[in-house]
Chains A and B, each alone.
Chain A
Amino acid sequence: MSTPIHAHTLANGLLVLTREVHSAPVATSWIWYRVGSRNEPGGETGISHWVEHMLFKGTPSMPRGELDRLIARNGGVFNGFTWIDYTAYYETLPADRIELGLRIESDRMVNALFDPSEVESERTVIISELEGYANYPETWLDEAVKAMAFTVHPYHHPVIGYKSDLLAMTRDELYTYYHTFYTPNNAVLVLVGDFDTDTLLRQVEQYFGPLPRGPALPAVRAVEPEPQGERRVTIRRPGPAQYVQIAYLAPDCRSPDFAPLAVLDAVLSGARPLSFMGGGAQTNRSARIYKALVETELAAAAWSSYAPTRDPFLFELSATVREGRDAAAVEAALLTEIEKIQQGGVTPEELARVLKQVRAQIAYNNESVTDQALQIGMWEVLDSFGRVETLPEELAAVTPEDVRRVARTYLTERRRVVGHFIPTEEQEDGA
């Protein structure tokens, strides 16, 4: 049902992926850089995200504010985001205006100013973003669990960075980082929408072709060693409820065990919408964790999560403890659900349901060119854009025995971190 994706590489190494979709007169332009918090050295945590912010602060030909105005005047929407493995920017526009996306992204790939006064004003904006997250108890628990789950790999630190690093970061550090990672050979341009591919590729060549290839990139060497036992952390701060988060070190998306683990996640919590921008179907309420935790009134909310990543990351179980219940009971109930699968496996009916849900989520996702481009770009920077097309088959090939095996192999006591958030009395403010 999806139209094919075409790949084209410019002489400077920029990979261009296009998919023509003519159902609505809109088009989207995404640029993905293979850089995220996993690339950050100690002392420079948060630098990927800060660089992303600086790309909205102007170039010599497009001063700050002009980019927003141009996109608005052309009826478009835009944004950028930074994650552990990648940084991405997009513009979605009426189809006849899509050239504007190419103009903006080719310009700021090399010409972003990093004006010192803009760097200073953005420092406090980002600290304000960090302080906004810190208002939520879940943030404190999540950061503690991840810090404990990764002792060697940079997935240890939050994407937003540490406040101390944000206070100390210099303009030159930001600029050097930008020039290291923002090169055509470290980027993927994804174009989806109502355009003629040949015409658009000529424009791509015109905008991006003259940009110089960059040097080879510093590799991420760190490999998280095999955990040697359960680790536990309890956060005590003012808060409205108890929270539980359990994280198991789990394979990256290129592992043959990725598909069985993705199926396991969907058996526990339903196959979730593909796009984080909304638009899919809610499928968790008939799945195992909701029935075992929420329907039994132990938790107000509970779910598992497992996302594709470049390096081994986490398979997680999370819950908001219901009033009158306690974190220990919720933890035990979550672990029981894992043990049930380790011992009894899953049924063929559950696998069939997961596959039908995945196919439906793909169909909903295909309504939007923006959401299609998100999937294509994300898979390319993590592994290969071809996974967008092969994933349903990979999932269909998973057997009940595969699911049981990965649950036994990876979701073990020694591979897990267990975190609890326990509210303190209001006056015990530790901030």
Chain B
Amino acid sequence: MAPEARGIAGATRYVASNGLVALIQRNPSAPTVSVRGEVRVGAVHETAAQNGLAVFTGAALIRGAGERTFQQIVAETEERGCSVNAAGGLHTSGFAGKALVEDLPLILAVLADMLARPAFPPHEVEKLRGQFLTSLRESEQETGTQAWRAARALLYPPEHPYSRLTSGAIETVQALTREDLVRFHQRYHPAATTVAIVGDVEPEAVIALLESSLGAWPPAGAPPTLDLPPAPPLEAILRRDVPMSGKIQSDIVWAVHGLRRTDPDYYPAMMANMILGRLGIGGRLGENVREEQGMAYYCYSNLDADVGAGPWSAVAGVNPANVERAIEALVHEVANFVEQGPLPQEVADARDYLTGSLVLSLETNDGIAAALLAIERFGLGIDFIERYPVIIGAITADQIVDVARRYLSTERYVLAVAGPPAG
């Protein structure tokens, strides 16, 4: 494990004159390079009326930038087996490139144009809108999407960006204009941008390339800030059922408010989540709903801890006849966990998995780049990977049960079910 751990801690952190932060890691295992970056602007910066704007803007960056049209961008990169992409998300807008090392200058130049000089050609915006509307219609008829849309609306007040899906809705995406995209893009700022470059590269050479590409992106105005509105605590059990015809299976979402990635409760909560609904085939939830009762192919929990406190959720896909029994099982497992806490063996398993699997997550260029981006986003420190086993090793069963009691509740939660109509 040592070479990779040292590898990350030895990454070069470079701040360009425009404020952009680059993290560069040499990984000579293959003649390839991955570029992964993020601008800290996302759907959290859009209004309810403009839901979908961050995603639309991110996807439009490639549709013409600098001197190149969309078809020129994809032709020039794809003919060399490279790819470039960008996508708006909830907290950040991401961009990525993949290339054989000799093509790194090309993908950095294209990505810099996409971020700094997107053209938003009107006909490309319309083309993209059509694709979005078709995929929105498809996702509107997915039980998982509908259950999550309902769960988020119950968890967060309408003024909170977490109350919506980043994909937007048909009406809002229909109403967005090219000018809306142009204005939203003006929030992108180099000083709010991190890029990780990992592969068979020399950091000094990469810095020189950055100076003429992403480092030359002129800053305009001030970097964006984020001020999330409060989410009032849940007071009761809130449930919404979404009947959907033509469906065979129902999706269930159970959720409470979680916590921020930087919250001191994060590590015990992450361990609690592993034990409750992830380890093996879905932790205790999977053991009950899938293994013992045979009700679901998937049943697991998820802790969405990011810049803000996202949902802490449990999901299952079950036959409509089993919906109430599956909910009962989910709530029963949560109650049991809150009451009794984890077994010593479960804590040991979670700890050994989290520390042991580190080397697996740092095998590929993409994996290393993702770790570097997370380190920068949450200010974890470049030696984070080295400290991680110590952090995880120090978490006790008492801390886990304490966190579980404060966040997981059997009296205040939301429940959303989407699937074939009852009866």
**Chain A residues within CB distance 8 Å of chain B:** 1, 23-26, 56, 64-65, 68-69, 72-77, 92-94, 97, 120-129, 131-132, 134-136, 237-241, 270-271, 279-287, 291, 294-295, 297, 300-301, 320-323, 353, 356-361, 363-364, 366-369, 426-427, 429, 431
Contact = CB atoms under 8 A, between A and B. Distances in A.
A266 B408 CA distance: 50
A289 B234 CA distance: 50
Contacts of A431: 246-248, 420
Contact of A285 (B1, B78, B245, B317): B78
A355 to B, nearest CB: 9
A329 B32 CA distance: 41
B171 interface: no
A24 B27 CA distance: 10
Nearest to A296: B127
A94 B134 contact: no
A134 B279 CA distance: 28
B290 interface: yes
6 contacts: A65-B291, A131-B249, A241-B138, A283-B78, A300-B131, A369-B363
Contacts of A131: 248-249, 317, 319
B130 A297 contact: yes
Contact of B287 (A26, A65, A294): A65
A128 B295 contact: yes
Given A69-B349, A368-B364, A369-B363, A283 B279 contact: no
A76 B349 CA distance: 12
B140 interface: yes
Interface stretch (B37-45, B205-213, B351-359): B351-359
Given A1-B30, A121-B291, A72 B349 contact: yes
A122 to B, nearest CB: 6
A56 B291 CA distance: 10
Interface string B148-188: 00000000000000000000000000000000000000000
A124 B295 contact: yes
A236 to B, nearest CB: 11
Q: Which 7 A-B pairs have the closest CB atoms?
A: A75-B356, A360-B81, A238-B246, A23-B29, A68-B280, A121-B294, A300-B134
Contacts of A363: 30-32, 100
B135 A23 contact: no
A137 to B, nearest CB: 8
A240 B131 contact: no
Nearest to A368: B364
B80 interface: yes
B133 interface: yes
Contacts of A122: 294
A24 B359 contact: yes
Contacts of B352: 72-75
A361 B81 contact: yes
Given A68-B279, A128-B319, A364-B98, A134 B249 contact: yes
Contacts of B420: 431
B336 interface: no
Contacts of B280: 65, 68-69, 72
A323 B356 contact: no
Given A72-B280, A282-B85, A323-B134, A367 B297 contact: no
Given A75-B353, A134-B248, A281-B83, 16 more contacts: A23-B29, A64-B291, A65-B291, A69-B349, A75-B360, A76-B357, A76-B360, A132-B248, A239-B246, A281-B99, A286-B75, A300-B134, A301-B131, A356-B81, A360-B81, A429-B246
Contacts of A285: 74, 78
Contacts, number: 213
B331 interface: no
B360 to A, nearest CB: 6
Interface string B348-392: 111011011111101111100000000000000000000000000
A25 B348 CA distance: 23
A322 B99 CA distance: 32
B292 interface: yes
A239 to B, nearest CB: 7
A286 B78 contact: yes
A235 to B, nearest CB: 12
Given A359-B81, A363-B30, A24 B362 contact: yes
Contacts of B362: 24
B353 A72 contact: yes
A322 B363 CA distance: 39
A97 B356 CA distance: 10
A186 B281 CA distance: 28
A322 B29 CA distance: 43
B322 to A, nearest CB: 8
B235 interface: no
B221 interface: no
Given A121-B291, A128-B297, A322 B134 contact: yes
Contacts of A286: 71, 74-75, 78-79
B423 interface: no
Given A65-B291, A72-B353, A291-B71, A360 B141 contact: no
Contact of B138 (A1, A270, A282, A320): A320
B193 interface: no
Given A25-B3, A65-B280, A73-B349, A279 B357 contact: no
B162 to A, nearest CB: 25
Nearest to B298: A132
B29 A75 contact: no
B111 to A, nearest CB: 14
B78 A129 contact: no
Interface in B99-143: 99-100, 127, 130-131, 133-135, 137-138, 140-143
Interface in B68-105: 71, 74-75, 78-83, 85, 98-100
A74 B356 contact: yes
B4 interface: yes
A322 B131 contact: yes
B293 interface: yes
Interface string B1-23: 10110000000000000000000
Contacts of B357: 75-77, 94
A98 B247 CA distance: 43
A166 to B, nearest CB: 12
Contacts of B31: 1, 363
Given A74-B352, A364-B98, A367-B364, A357 B30 contact: no
A364 to B, nearest CB: 6
Contact of A279 (B3, B137, B359, B366): B366
B48 interface: no
Nearest to A291: B71
A100 B287 CA distance: 23
Contacts of A369: 363
Which of A23, A128, A240 has the most CB atoms of chain B within a 10 A radius of its CB?
A128
Interface in B249-298: 249, 279-281, 287, 290-298
B26 to A, nearest CB: 12
A357 B353 contact: no
Contacts of B327: none
B246 A237 contact: yes
Contacts of A353: 78-79
Given A131-B319, A239-B141, A281-B82, A94 B356 contact: yes
